[in-house]
Chain A
Amino acid sequence: MRSIPLLLSCVAAVSQLCSAELNLSHPLLSKQVLPSTFKPPQVFKNANLVRTTNLDKEYVRETVNVIIENIDSKPQSEYYLPFESEVISRVGGFEVKDKKSPEKGSFKVEVVEFDSRSPTEFYLIHLPTPLAPKSQLTLSISYSILAAATPVPAQIAQTDKQYLQYTFSAFTPSAYLTQKQKTKVKFPSADVPDYTTLPADTNAEGKVDPQKQGSTFTYGPYNDIPAGVTELVSARYEFTKPLTRASLLERDIEVSHWGGNLATEERYWLSNRGASLKNHFSRSEWQRQQYMNPPTSALKALPFPLHAGVLNPYFTDDIGNVSTSRFRSTPREAHLEIKPRYPVFGGWKYSFRVGWDADLKNYLRKLSAGSGDSYVLKVPFLEGPRIPEGIEYERVTVRIVLPEGAVNVKYSTPVPLIGAETGLHKTFMDTLGRTTLTLHALNVVDEWRERELIITYDYPWTAGLRKPVVLTLGLFAVFVTAWVVGSLDTSIKAKKAA
């Protein structure tokens, strides 16, 4: 979906030769590649734009509500949204809806690639129906930026408060003229020691910029900001919570028709992006502190809210079981609370795996239509821990292991993917190997928990008999061999006797 360095270097090489034919040279790609001189056609203007930046979580959530107006003479359907190339690689969960009718679902979006030297790249939003000239449409664009806020100072003492700094443009980056706009920044608390103030004359109302209201700051409103104009501001706010980042999450979901079981295993490579310890870790200070339980930048526990009916959870890491976990299961919910072996402070890492079983009945249905051997499986794309400050996942790989002999695998999910492949996975006395579907996604945040993944596949009943038949034959062969070998007479003595 987004910048693959190899691809970019290819593109750069080709673009030097003939930039005009770039689109043709990669006809199979879903993304467009544009020359560095590209400027989006000025066919829209933003009549009114309100951007809300939410800093509650450790990643930045932005929602842009914008009224766009077609100023061209023809109907237009392609709206560009610019990002800095350094930021766009950390943008995840990009969704666009019609504000007036969100039930229609999200619009098709794609990243348009640039030449790697360009500082700006675009998201291209396809409006489902072209917008007629002079008419308006309200877009609701939401996305999250991962690893956007960095701890300043980068080193703090164990009991200190942690402050994050977030730098952004007070004028919402846009490829079009924006007539009226403002930006609301929601901080987690009112403790914002440093922030940029803009001169009052840029402000349309001539007021102090930004306007403070509790923990919400408002930059703007600003009038008639041309396309591409930015005004960098930054704010430093208190955030004494862990900045949990999973550089990789591998999630395996194994379907067993024979056992009626859905086994899930998740492997995490976590780290805390927060401020590292100025001095080293002091256990005595930590223990004294625990009585008060103050906010801390260390990650102490990860609660996993699981589906009801989950069984046999486990929590291990590279060197064995971690005993500091608790599991509570009621008919209505199941709750797994795990604690890392040590508090994960800023700059520290912790990798582990958790897994559990569940009854397949609750996730799998046999389709009555069709050949009668079709199944549909509905599982969450992401489960994982839920903590108030949020978790970001740099890379997520979901692997669904279907029974041996499953064919005709199809999937659908609202999560933007960068790749999907099917393969075989050989385990537990398989002869062919089980069909697997592997899905890759980048820049996922924990808000996307419970987004569904729906998989349909055909599983003929004869495929289910493969293993018992093979095993029976194998054992039979062993017995026959043993009998034949046992009845051979190799002794020298016996021949003499005979």
Chain B
Amino acid sequence: MATTDDGQFLKKVSGRNTRGLLRVIILCLIAGAAVSSRLFSVIRFESIIHEFDPWFNFRATKYLVQNGFYSFWDWFDDRTWHPLGRVTGGTLYPGLMVTSGIIYHLLRFLALPVDIRNICVLLAPGFSGLTALATYLLTSEMVTSPSAGLLAAAFMGITPGYISRSVAGSYDNEAIAIFLLVFTFYLWIKAVKLGSMFWGALTALFYGYMVSAWGGYVFITNLLPLHAFVLICMGRYSPRLYVSYCSWYALGTLASMQIPFVGFLPIRSSEHMSALGVFGLLQLVGFVEWVRTQLPNKQFQTLLRALVLVVFVVALGALVLLTFSGVIAPWTGRFYSLWDTGYAKIHIPIIASVSEHQPTAWPAFFFDLNMMIWLFPAGVYMCFKTLTDEQVFIVIYAVLASYFAGVMVRLMLTLTPIVCVAAAMAFSQILDTYLDTKTPKADAKTNESPADSAKVAAAAVLPDSLRSTRTPYIGIYSYASKITVIGASAIYLLLFVLHCTWVTSNAYSSPSVVLASRLPDGSQHIIDDYREAYYWLRQNTPENAKIMSWWDYGYQIGGMADRPTLVDNNTWNNTHIATVGKAMSSREEVSYPIMRQHEVDYVLVVFGGLLRYSGDDINKFLWMVRIAEGIWPEEVKERDFFTPRGEYRVDDQATPTMRNSLMYKMSYYNYNSLFPAGQAEDRVRGAKLPAEGPQLSTVEEAFTSENWIIRIYKVKDLDNFGRDHQSAVAFDHGHKKKRASKKKGPRVLRVE
């Protein structure tokens, strides 16, 4: 992709145009700024993979690099979802891993031994530079002003809405997908403009790449047909549209079907039906257009009416029939939640439990997009004014993406490019109007009388009245107004940069695997409990020890501890996750058989009570309960975890179900001993804990990290004497404490 971009620039430079050269330099600087603003976490912490999903991608990339492409394609991973395993090769989007793999082998070929980890960490920043270039190209297609493209590139480079998913270390599909999204759109616009099969095929090529990289490709799959459909409805059908759409659809669909995870979805699932429908519609419209040239007008009218009716009935009937017969897959749950934000909460707790699937809060828009959020409508409005084919695209994209971004936090990412483009168009319009020093001034002095100029100056304050007056020339004459507006714009731009840098540095640059805090002397203190515990697992447990934890940590355990897990962030099997949820939320007597059946060796819980770390398992506990309740409504009940007054408590008011659950016991086991008697406190929930800590009988503490964030328990083997663990522990305690045995002993005798 980089080479095609370069080709564009080279052509421009070859014209020995200083502006062209300047533009290349500016774009390179923008790309540089985009890359460097994403390096906060590398500089502050280290070159490390962030968060959760990237750890899986990293692990998969390592597998690809070590075992080659074909075994990656056929990869069956028996170290996750124990004992089921996962057909990983067929259930992932391989684009990201393959991209890093190619870069890795290319560098190896050049005898540059760059660690695969560093490639993965820096892939997202690298591609963000390319995204800035792609945004420049896309915007340049929309407007004639060259500054709009450069502004859009700069906006795209540093806007937090995109940085949130592309900081160094955030090795996720979105890292390359946003570049592919924008670049595919650019190619599409180019294809529609030129009506060229070549550009249509290029669109299909990058669409195929996009399909291999991210599930969000469906957005393109629906947006391009919608664009074509709207153009047809507006009566703007043209052979250009026909050629570009058909070449894209035919080649793109074939390309997308090469990805095993996608397979036959493009012709079977509902999400892809619109593209197929528009493809059919285009054939019809093309046919009708041809017939129109052949037939007299009246006969044509009758024919058209009949044709439209027949086609509509047949197509709808076929769609309904195929959907009911199961050939076309019905809508997936994640898709429903796009239309009804409450859907997931009721039906699929596992989707609702992911924070990035929540509806977006309003402040988030300003947080992620800053001033662009109010420039954006202005840019869309400007597109409305001229409304060429490509500007229709902007309008549709803007409307759709705004809706989706409001529904799901995560989809803010698809909104960001169009906001940048539209905002840049609006902003460059302001700059072009007000930065123009020469012409209006010269014209005003030569052409206009002083009285007229005063009129115009007055009109500049009230621009609406200006249009009604029939002055032959419109322009800004007063330096004062120019300086005011330009100054204000400059300040806005500066504030934008400050805001972006601040947001990036404070909100999006934490690896979340490593936490930072400040010591009293101001120096940085790294809290590295996750890796401490994961490394302990990696070094000191058997190679095949199965680790049970909540699914959030599955990928990290696989990546850092290199141990098999029961569930992970892939969440493909709700029942399996519910099983883990049940084991965590039930009493030990219930959990132990579940853990034995799943050959669990160690249980890992995250506990933030000591360090005020709020993302811990007790705070996520209700989701475990809800998901388990979804499968076993009789055995796990969410209500039992709330006090009669409806409070979720962990102190001595906590319900017996809560206090007997395995999760509660593992979190607070032995925690009392850190405090003076009766003073134990859970700092994250601000609760005073019961004086007597929980007792464990079926698991035993194996490791606790330095700040108690990770606690690992070993599941006990069956008792040697065939007792159940409760009585074995009671016996051991009785052996130590004479008083307890005395109490129990006589009571048994009397009964007998």
Contacts and interface: CB of A to CB of B under 8 A. Distances in A.
Interface of A: 279-285, 287-288, 317-324, 341-342, 347-351, 426-431, 486
B48 A321 contact: yes
Given A281-B703, A348-B539, 17 more contacts: A280-B700, A280-B703, A282-B670, A283-B705, A284-B674, A284-B704, A318-B538, A319-B534, A319-B535, A320-B46, A320-B48, A320-B531, A348-B536, A349-B539, A427-B111, A429-B110, A429-B112
B736 to A, nearest CB: 13
A417 B670 CA distance: 51
A281 B528 CA distance: 18
A287 B674 contact: yes
Nearest to A350: B539
A288 B672 CA distance: 12
A323 B704 contact: no
B14 to A, nearest CB: 8
A323 B526 contact: yes
Q: Is the interface of B mostly helix, strand, loop or mixed?
A: mixed
Given A283-B705, A428-B111, A428-B113, A318 B670 contact: no
29 contacts: A280-B700, A280-B701, A280-B714, A281-B701, A283-B706, A284-B670, A284-B673, A284-B674, A284-B704, A287-B674, A288-B673, A317-B535, A319-B535, A319-B538, A320-B46, A320-B48, A320-B531, A323-B528, A324-B528, A341-B535, A342-B535, A342-B536, A342-B703, A342-B705, A350-B539, A428-B112, A429-B110, A429-B111, A486-B7
Q: Which 10 A-B residue pairs are closest in the complex by CB-CB distance? A: A283-B704, A323-B526, A321-B46, A341-B532, A284-B673, A349-B539, A319-B560, A280-B702, A348-B540, A429-B111
Contacts, number: 79
Interface in B347-377: none
Given A318-B538, A427-B111, A282 B46 contact: no
Nearest to A426: B111
Nearest to A280: B702
Nearest to B713: A280
Interface in B499-519: 514
A351 B540 CA distance: 11
A335 B112 CA distance: 32
Contacts of B136: none
Interface of B: 7, 10, 45-48, 110-113, 514, 526, 528, 531-532, 534-536, 538-540, 559-560, 670-671, 673-674, 700-706, 708, 714
Contacts of A428: 111-113
Contacts of B46: 320-321
B556 to A, nearest CB: 10
Contacts of A426: 111
Nearest to A348: B540
A106 B663 CA distance: 65
B702 A283 contact: no
Contacts of A317: 535
B415 to A, nearest CB: 34
Contacts of A486: 7, 10
A488 to B, nearest CB: 12
A342 B7 CA distance: 53
B670 A341 contact: no
Contacts of B703: 280-281, 283, 342
A280 B540 CA distance: 12
Contacts of A430: 111
Contacts of A283: 703-706, 708
Q: Which residue, of A279, A284, A427, A486, has the highest number of chain B Cβ atoms within 10 A?
A: A284
Nearest to B708: A283
Contacts of B708: 283
Contact of A341 (B45, B112, B531, B559): B531
Nearest to A281: B703
A415 to B, nearest CB: 29
A280 B670 CA distance: 13
Given A280-B701, A280-B702, A428-B112, A319 B539 contact: no
Nearest to A286: B704
B392 to A, nearest CB: 27
A427 B107 CA distance: 11
A341 B539 CA distance: 11
Nearest to B525: A323
Nearest to B536: A342
B529 to A, nearest CB: 9
Nearest to B527: A323
A167 B441 CA distance: 103
A418 B526 CA distance: 43
Nearest to A430: B111
A351 B539 contact: yes
Nearest to B556: A319
Contacts of B538: 318-319
Nearest to A270: B539
B113 A318 contact: no
A429 B109 CA distance: 9
Contacts of A319: 531, 534-535, 538, 559-560
A319 B390 CA distance: 48
Given A282-B670, A318-B535, A341 B701 contact: no
A350 B538 CA distance: 9
A430 B112 CA distance: 9
Contacts of A318: 535, 538
A292 B269 CA distance: 67
Nearest to B535: A341
Contacts of A282: 670, 701, 704
A283 B532 CA distance: 13
Contacts of A284: 670-671, 673-674, 704
Contacts of B112: 428-429
Contacts of B535: 317-319, 341-342
Contacts of B10: 486
Nearest to A287: B674
B702 A281 contact: yes
A426 B705 CA distance: 41
A280 B602 CA distance: 13
A351 B531 CA distance: 14
A324 B514 CA distance: 13
Nearest to B526: A323
Contacts of A281: 701-704
Contacts of A350: 539
Contacts of B714: 280
Given A323-B526, A348-B540, A350-B539, A427 B113 contact: yes
B750 to A, nearest CB: 35
A342 B534 CA distance: 11
A176 B77 CA distance: 63
Contacts of A342: 532, 535-536, 703, 705-706
Nearest to B540: A348
A283 B674 CA distance: 9
B555 to A, nearest CB: 13
A183 B641 CA distance: 70
Nearest to A269: B539
Contacts of B540: 347-349
A299 B539 CA distance: 15
A354 to B, nearest CB: 15
Contacts of B674: 284, 287
A468 to B, nearest CB: 15
Nearest to B714: A280
A486 B6 CA distance: 11
Nearest to A285: B673
A2 B201 CA distance: 68
A433 to B, nearest CB: 9
A486 B111 CA distance: 27
A350 B539 CA distance: 6
Nearest to A314: B46
A348 B538 CA distance: 11
A133 to B, nearest CB: 60
A298 B174 CA distance: 44
Contacts of B48: 320-321
B198 to A, nearest CB: 9
A427 B528 CA distance: 32
